[in-house]
Chain A
Amino acid sequence: MSTRAPATDLPIRFSEVAILAGGVTVLDCISITFSAGAPTVLIGPNGSGKTTLLRAAMGLIRPARGRITWDGSEVSPPTRRAIMFQRPVMLRRSAAANIGYALAAAGAPRAERAKRTAGLLSLVGLQALAGRPARQLSGGEQQRLSLARALARDPAVLFLDEPTASLDPAATKAIEDIVRAVSTRGIKVVMATHDLGEAKRLAGEIVLLHRGRIIESGPAHSLFAAPTTDEAKKFIAGELLV
């Protein structure tokens, strides 16, 4: 990975986007822009639409209404974007082979793959487990491997869906350190979390979602210090939003 100029996918702009699933409105009237810079963190209760928003920004879901554009184009192959799912699925092969596979799929030349795999493994701290069957890794290790797979694509934008959801504090710190390092190097991170502490630790901009709508958004320090909407106030205070 190297420091990069602003990517061609950014800014990612949602205009009045609605997304339905099985007749249910999952996202309603979403208008938001993701621009280069510090990480954007999505917060909100379960079922608020965070995951769907991430997938739509990745390009995996088409909006039922409204438009999504990547640097102005409505059609953009996902070559410079990568996503890490909440429950990552490991391929039935070794940890190193999983990364190698992602590299191959992203078109990395064969000669480079060994070196880059080794680099990515040490980045996520899994170099000792390179030959282990990936499905035999612990939850935290699989999450780190999934992050390495995403980074193997050399993305300009990285989407992370609850990357530390089931991890212990040590593993959580490991992931957060990587996220910070990655962001510093110029990769735009868009992350969903339900851990407010983590949001505070990592965010540039915060977006609060509830029932498929954006309730409030803004820089982290001001949103946490002085939320303007009722829901935001309640949520930050730790109350359940139903």
Chain B
Amino acid sequence: MKHSMNSGRIPIAAVALGVMVLIAAACMAPEDKSIVVASTTSTQDSGLFDYLLPIVKRRTGITVKVIAQGSGQALDTGRRGDADVVFVHAKSEELKFVAEGEGLKRYPVMYNDFVLLGPKSDPAGIAGMKDISRALQIIKDKRASFISRGDRSGTHIAELNLWKDSAVDIETDKGPWYKSIGQGMGAALNTASASNAYVLSDRSTWIHFKNPGELRILVEGDRRMFNQYGVILVNPDKHPNVKKVLGQKFIDYLISPAGQEDIANYKIDGQALFHPNANEAASTRELFPSLNLTRAPAPVPPAWN
């Protein structure tokens, strides 16, 4: 009988606890001065945002919430109106995005370059080559293991363009040696490291990567491996919920001298991972000014052809 009299109390206690937990959850509601930026895994995996976002908050008061996806995915997120700003590195896709009216205007922000990584043993024998197309052709001819992002990211699109430049129709010419993993840059590097395969990566993520194993940079410096990042405000006319004032403020910061300097100051072991180039004229004149961005101290910066 003690049961029937007290049995009311335990459910009430449980409900009270539950309500407290829910309130705690609700208290984690988003703040007002925040924007959602859909960006790439390379900007995340390289640690750029971990470094930059607190600075953004200090300078502009905006809390930036970054969703890290492949460039293609990020642009799709923008098309759905689920992000306020997109910040990616797939120029052709970005221009299409603006042309479709999904974005207002594309601003270049910064660049880095792609590098072709591979195992120290270099089964395809392409180390040190200057011509990325030739290197890829050899990889395909020798059926050397190659890891592809396969996720419509900027890196993936760049990789596909490079295959095209090498006169390889990767769709028909691929075989078991070509592994498309559909994941981010970090995951691709992990897979390549673990399976002794070649992989195309942006340099910044590679520098920041902590599990290199036997991977080394084998081909770099080809001008086709230039990698430009752009930022676009999602069109508020198409998606009324877009925080256009805050979003534009964020973009304005990125391309401002202060923002550009902050980007340039993101360094690992004294090496800058991204080069600011919002001032477009500067980028065409002076590509890769100081290419000293290797993991180990490089003897000579690769020649820029």
| Chain A residues with a Cβ under 8 A of chain B | 93-94, 96-97, 100-101, 104, 113-114, 117
Contacts and interface: CB of A to CB of B under 8 A. Distances in A.
Interface string B1-20: 11110000000000000000
In the complex, which of the residues B1, B2, B3 has the most CB atoms of chain A within 10 Å of its own CB atom? B1
A34 B180 CA distance: 84
B104 to A, nearest CB: 66
Nearest 10 CB-CB pairings of A with B: A100-B1, A97-B3, A93-B3, A97-B1, A96-B1, A113-B1, A100-B4, A117-B1, A114-B1, A104-B4
Contacts of A100: 1, 3-4
16 contacts: A93-B3, A94-B2, A94-B3, A96-B1, A97-B1, A97-B2, A97-B3, A97-B4, A100-B1, A100-B3, A100-B4, A101-B4, A104-B4, A113-B1, A114-B1, A117-B1
Contacts of B1: 96-97, 100, 113-114, 117
A229 B1 CA distance: 52
Contacts of B3: 93-94, 97, 100
Nearest to A100: B1
Interface of B: 1-4
Contacts, number: 16
B69 to A, nearest CB: 52
Contacts of A104: 4
Contacts of A113: 1
A229 B137 CA distance: 106
A97 B6 CA distance: 12
A113 B1 CA distance: 8
Contacts of A94: 2-3
A165 B242 CA distance: 79
Nearest to A91: B3
A166 B157 CA distance: 81
Nearest to A96: B1
A93 B4 CA distance: 10
B39 to A, nearest CB: 56
A236 B2 CA distance: 49
Nearest to A103: B1
Contacts of A117: 1
A100 B2 CA distance: 9
A101 B1 CA distance: 7
B8 to A, nearest CB: 13
Contacts of A96: 1
B299 to A, nearest CB: 78
Contacts of A101: 4
Contacts of A97: 1-4
A104 B4 CA distance: 9
A93 B6 CA distance: 13
Contacts of A93: 3
A203 to B, nearest CB: 36
B3 to A, nearest CB: 5
